[in-house]
């Protein structure tokens, strides 16, 4: 959520910044709304003061033996006016809150200009793409040949965009997850195991609610419980309504969870295979940082995700997202895109964002400034380190061999019980 003081003092500047994201903010309408709020607030305060004064007069008149009925009638009338003014003020404040809740984060000044993903800026390409001198298969064909990927079973059990993994392919998926967690824990991240169900307050805190409710899976009972769309939600909300000691910063967490997304806005996209599923798994990185350290934390998180892909021997690129492609809560986002031979292109496998104080303001997440002793808003950052399903897709495709087998990346062999090549059973 944006700082209300910034909105109040210079809504035009906010409108100019949000325009870089392709978001239209009506500064004049917001200023008019705020003027109404101020007028109503002043009116309510004046009525309250007058009511208090007249109430005191009743006591004095009563002590003097005077007729107090006219005074009581006047106070009652003021009470009715006060309640009406308060109700109107609350309605305007609710309207303001609704506007604020729908505003995305202000973009970083260094964020690239652009309207959509075509305008994203490639910062670097790393690694060698495999030279496959045979007919390239996609991960679905490979997985089915290995009897390890079954979309039909997933559809029968649940519906479209669900997949059953089995055998060595399921173990490869698990190996990827364990390898990634170990890699992050080994450099100081604290591993967490968190709930997969969260309440509405948690989703509000990280910005999924109220704007993106259609993309969530909601439980019918209790009605304000939801399946998590990412570990970002439960992990980041650990500091909701907390004041963190500055010497503990940055907090660096890693969590492996399933993720559940309705993908309401993705109809028709990536319907084949595991690229876009309703249920998938990620290894998520979260940093809770001092504002002065958040940019450095952002770069370090990108480096962590890069280390995972480099360790797997996968070619990838790092992309700086433009205003038209950046997420709602993010001020700056770097995507990591891995090479997929079957598509002859790079596809996103990690998105790492600095939300600055946007989420912290919604959550009331703060640290205590050692100089002033006052609470200040934290900065929160999140990113995949990396998406397990897409990592599986990338390994299957990049390590496929002409005979239909898949070579296991060297770093995963110990996690596979020494298995170096996955072959079709029988």
Any idea what the CATH number is for the domain that residue 13 is in?
1.10.287.40
Please state the pTM of the whole predicted model: 0.92
Quick one: 206 and 284 in the same domain? Answer: yes
235 and 379 belong to one structural domain? yes
Does the annotation list 384 as a binding residue? Answer: yes
Is 218 annotated in a binding site? The answer is no
Whether residues 201 and 293 fall in one domain: yes
Instruction: Say which range, 104-108, 145-149, 371-375, 405-409, has the weakest mean pLDDT.
Output: 371-375
Please state which of the ranges 26-35, 41-50, 224-233, 385-394 shows the lowest mean pLDDT.
Answer: 41-50
- Summarize the confidence of residues 385-410 as an average pLDDT: 98
| Residues 38 and 182 occupy one common structural domain | no
> How does residue 52 score in pLDDT terms, banded at 50, 70 and 90?
confident
84 with 44: CB under 8 angstroms? no
* 302 and 416 assigned to the same domain: yes
304 pLDDT tier (thresholds 50, 70, 90): very high
Q: Which two tokens stand for residue 100?
A: 């604020």
Burial of 57 (0-12, 13-18, 19+ CB in 10 A): middle
Pair (344, 381) in one structural domain? yes
Q: Does 337 count as an annotated binding residue?
A: no
How many Å apart are CA 208 and CA 229, to the nearest integer?
9
Q: Are residues 85 and 123 in the same domain?
A: no
Statement to judge: residues 153 and 302 lie in one domain: yes
Asked if residue 382 belongs to a known ligand binding site, the reply is yes
Q: What is the mean pLDDT of the chain?
A: 94
Residue 63 pLDDT > 80, yes or no? no
Is 243 inside any structural domain? yes
Tell whether residue 63 is among the known ligand binding residues: no
Total tally of structural domains belonging to the chain: 2
Checking if the pLDDT of 51 tops 80, the result is: no
Q: Domain of 167: which CATH number? A: 3.30.930.10
* 418 located within any domain: yes
Task: Determine, yes or no, domain membership for 111.
Answer: no
Average pLDDT over residues 252-275: 83
- The Cα–Cα gap between 368 and 366 comes to 7
pLDDT in tens, 145-172: 999 999 999 999 999 999 999 999 999 9
Domain endpoint, select from 40, 68, 101 = 101
Quick one: pLDDT at residue 372?
A: 92
Q: Based on the number of CB atoms within 10 Å of its own CB, is 243 exposed (0-12), middle (13-18) or buried (19 or more)?
A: middle
Query: Is 349 annotated as contributing to ligand binding?
Result: yes
Residues 298 and 329 occupy one common structural domain: yes
In this predicted model, what pLDDT tens digit does every residue of 74-90 receive, in sequence order?
A: 667 777 888 888 999 99
Q: Which residues are catalytic?
A: 261, 276, 348, 351, 390
Determine whether 43 is exposed, middle or buried from the number of CB atoms within 10 Å of its CB (0-12, 13-18, 19+).
Answer: middle
Is residue 337 a part of any domain in this protein?
yes
Range of the domain at 349: 117-422
Enumerate residues 6+ apart whose C-beta is below 8 A from 329. Answer: 104, 105, 206, 207, 353, 355, 358, 359
369 in the same domain as 330: yes
Residue 269, pLDDT above cutoff 80: no
Say whether both 355 and 229 belong to one domain: yes
């Amino acid at each position: 959520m944006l700082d209300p003081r910034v909105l109040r003092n210079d809504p035009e500047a906010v409108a100019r910044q949000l325009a870089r994201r392709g978001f239209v903010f009506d500064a004049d309408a917001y200023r008019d709304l705020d003027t109404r709020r101020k007028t109503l607030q002043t009116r309510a305060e004046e009525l309250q003061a007058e009511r208090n004064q007249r109430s005191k007069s009743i006591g004095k008149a009563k002590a003097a033996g005077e007729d107090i009925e006219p005074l009581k009638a006047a106070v009652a009338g003021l009470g009715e006016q006060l309640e009406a003014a308060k109700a109107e003020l609350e309605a305007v404040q609710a309207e303001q809150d609704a506007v604020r809740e729908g505003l995305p984060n202000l973009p970083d000044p260094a964020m690239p200009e652009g309207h959509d993903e075509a305008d994203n800026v490639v910062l670097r390409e790393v690694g060698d793409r495999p030279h496959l001198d045979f007919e390239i298969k996609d991960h679905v064909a490979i997985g089915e040949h290995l009897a390890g990927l079954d979309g039909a079973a997933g559809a029968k059990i649940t519906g479209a965009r669900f997949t059953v993994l089995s055998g060595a392919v399921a173990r490869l998926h698990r190996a990827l997850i364990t390898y990634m967690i170990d890699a992050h824990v080994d450099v100081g991240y604290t591993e967490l195991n968190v709930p997969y169900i969260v309440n509405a307050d948690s989703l509000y805190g990280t910005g999924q609610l109220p704007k993106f409710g259609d993309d969530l899976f909601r439980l019918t009972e209790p009605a304000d419980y939801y399946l998590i769309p990412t570990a970002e939600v439960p992990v980041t909300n650990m500091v909701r309504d907390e004041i963190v000691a500055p010497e503990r910063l940055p907090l660096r967490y890693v969590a492996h969870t399933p993720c559940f997304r309705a993908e309401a806005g993705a109809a028709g996209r990536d319907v084949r295979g595991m690229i876009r599923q309703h249920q998938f798994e990620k290894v998520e990185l979260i940093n809770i940082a001092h504002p002065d350290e958040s940019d450095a934390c952002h770069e370090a998180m990108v480096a962590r995700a890069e280390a995972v892909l480099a360790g797997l021997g996968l070619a990838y690129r790092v992309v700086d997202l433009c205003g038209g492609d950046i997420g709602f809560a993010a001020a700056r986002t770097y995507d990591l895109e891995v090479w997929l031979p079957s598509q002859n292109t790079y596809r996103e496998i990690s998105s790492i964002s600095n939300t600055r104080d946007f989420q912290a303001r919604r959550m009331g997440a703060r640290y205590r400034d050692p100089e002033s002793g006052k609470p200040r808003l934290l900065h929160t950052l999140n990113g995949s380190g990396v998406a397990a399903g897409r990592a599986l897709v990338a390994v299957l495709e990049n390590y496929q061999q002409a005979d239909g087998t898949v070579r296991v990346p060297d770093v995963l062999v110990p996690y596979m019980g020494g298995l170096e090549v996955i072959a079709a059973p029988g």
